[in-house]
Amino acid sequence: MRVGVCADDLIVHVRIGHFPCFIFISMNKPVSAGQSNKHPQTKQMRRKPNEDSHYADPEFSAELIAWQKQHGRHRLPWQNTGDAYRVWLSEIMLQQTQVTAVIPYYLRFLEKFPSVQDLAAAPVEEVMALWAGLGYYTRARNLHQCAKQVVAQYQGIFPSDPSLLNALPGIGRSTAAAVAAFSYGTIAAILDGNVKRVFARVFGIDAYPGIKSVEDDLWLRAEALLPQTEIAAYTQGLMDLGATLCTRSKPDCARCPFQHRCVAFAEGRTAELPVRKPKSKQKEKQTIMLLLEHDGAVLLEQRSMTGIWGGLLSLPELDGMTELEVMSSDKSDSNRIFEQISATDQTRATDIVNRFGDIQSLNRLAPFTHTFTHFKLHIHVIHFIISRRFEFVGEDNLRWTDLEQVEQLALPAPVKILLQTLSSRLI
Ligand code: SF4
């Protein structure tokens, strides 16, 4: 057993069986703002070896560490610091954002808020303003919340235990591991999008990494592949490889340290892996809209606040089921169009038309489709020409509106296009 003492902490080196271990005893000395900080929680430094996992592969980390030292990135502004505040700030900014975009923001933030205490004390508006342009603004709110919590709960010192970091606002499991590894040398696994891509290609994982069971298995693999030492170089190596060589498109396999063992490279499947998200079949819905037109005006209805197009003005819609296939084969016969609407729809259509005017003619317009994120809406329109318009007085969401006003109204996009087309024909 060997005992080493540093300024703030006592580090005891022991061997258990064949494995070297470090027992870290903090003297729990207070750390001032902006000072490189060490934290008393050090469970991960006593991490057990992982040779029992069938994913264990010590050569993987050895090769990656050697490559990172020689070819990886070493001069990024947030590197070569043990300051958890700086590491955390950079890791949050780097989520879904390129290094080149992050650098000026990172430097500006540090200038304005040199310590976590400065950031915590700032008004949230100031933080948001400084973040403007970096995107994913929830990150900025969480950043501010997290700073406040670290000051209030941990006296401004970020914990070294990834599970404690993971409990703070905006810090996911992978970010927690990265912050702990870079700041304190905690041996913990990262698994961000880049790492998933590298693993999927190197190990030939033939399943979409977003599936829970696949992701759980990737975490097991990430844990099993961890080195016993040099966690910062290993973690940086994974990040560097994913960002510089094993890129989403056109990976630079010729320069890759894993080419000799990469399944995707060997099988010529780098473009196929990782497996893309399976496309879910888009749902399709139908609706029938009533377009009542009289002398340059149309009848519009205020939609309820819930559901699609909540609160917008739109054409009145029918709710019941209708024989749309039959309708689509018969565009001209007015009586038949009305007959082919279901009883429920007939009642609503008749009610609206009788309250607001006398029908001169009706015609079915060519159907069209509007695509939402999760479904397609097929829109069928019955166009009524009204010979005599009634001004309905009562509690109602329906009202006559001049087509000239269409441009200024908050209307669903497809309805606006339809009414603009109608308006242009009347000019
Ligand atoms: S050999 Fe190519 S595909 Fe495989 S890990 Fe390296 S860069 Fe990625």
The residues spanned by each domain of the chain are 58-266, 283-426
Q: What pLDDT, on the 0 to 100 scale, is given for residue 347?
A: 77
- Please state, in angstroms and rounded to a whole number, the distance separating the CA atoms of residues 61 and 268: 24
Per-residue model confidence (pLDDT) at position 32: 33
DSSP at 114: -
Contact 189, 223 (CB under 8 A): yes
Distance 213 CA to ligand 1 centre (A): 24
Average pLDDT score, the chain: 83
For residue 28, what pLDDT is reported? 35
Q: Is 258 touching ligand 1 by the criterion CB < 6 Å?
A: yes
Going from the Cα of 275 to the center of ligand 1, the distance in angstroms, rounded, reads 15
User: Which atom of ligand 1 lies closest to the CA of 252?
Assistant: 7
- Tokens 């209805």 appear where? 301
- Regarding the beta carbon of 243 and ligand 1, being less than 6 Å apart is answered no
The CB of 270 under 6 Å from ligand 1? The reply is yes
CA of 258 to the centre of ligand 1 (A): 6
State the pLDDT at residue 102: 97
* Residue spans of the chain under pLDDT 50: 1-38, 40, 42-46, 49, 323-331
58-266 under CATH 1.10.10.350, yes or no: no
Nearest Cα residue to 70 out of 244, 223, 250, 263: 244
* Burial group, residue 314, by CB count within 10 angstroms (0-12, 13-18, 19+): buried
- Crossing angle of the two packed helices 193-202 and 231-240, in degrees rounded to 10: 80
pLDDT at 173: 97
Judged by phi (left if over 0) then psi (alpha if -120 to 50, else beta), residue 181 lies in: alpha
- Angle among Cα 419, 424, 426 to the nearest 5 degrees reads 95
Phi/psi of residue 218, each to 5°? -65, -35
DSSP 65: H
Please tell me the distance from the alpha carbon of residue 312 to that of residue 305, in angstroms, as a whole number. 8
Mutation to probe ligand 1, out of 63, 197, 259 (largest number of atoms < 8 A from CB):
259
Is ligand 1 within 6 A of the CB of residue 406?
no
Phi and psi at 290, nearest 5°, equal -105, 120
DSSP code per residue over 110-128: HHH--SHHHHHHS-HHHHH
Report the alpha-carbon distance of residue 245 to residue 248 in Å, rounded: 9
Assess whether the C-beta atom of 262 lies below 6 angstroms from ligand 1: yes
| Pocket probe mutation, ligand 1, options 270, 272, 273, 275, max atoms within 8 Å of Cβ | 270
Cis amide bond preceding 274, omega within 30: yes
Residue 274 CA to ligand 1 centre (angstroms): 11
Buried-state track 58-80, b at ≥16 Cβ within 10 A, e below 16: eebbebbbebbeebbeeebebee
Q: What is the pLDDT of residue 75?
A: 95
Given a contact cutoff of 8 angstroms between Cβ atoms, the answer to whether 46 and 22 are in contact is: yes
Domain 283-426: homologous superfamily in CATH: Nucleoside Triphosphate Pyrophosphohydrolase (3.90.79.10)
User: What one-letter code names the amino acid at 312?
Assistant: L
| Phi and psi, residue 297, nearest 5° | -125, 155
Q: What is the pLDDT of residue 409?
A: 83
Query: For the CA atoms of the chain, what is the radius of gyration?
Result: 32
As a whole number of angstroms, the distance between CA 264 and CA 140 comes to 37
**pLDDT at residue 52, rounded to an integer:** 67
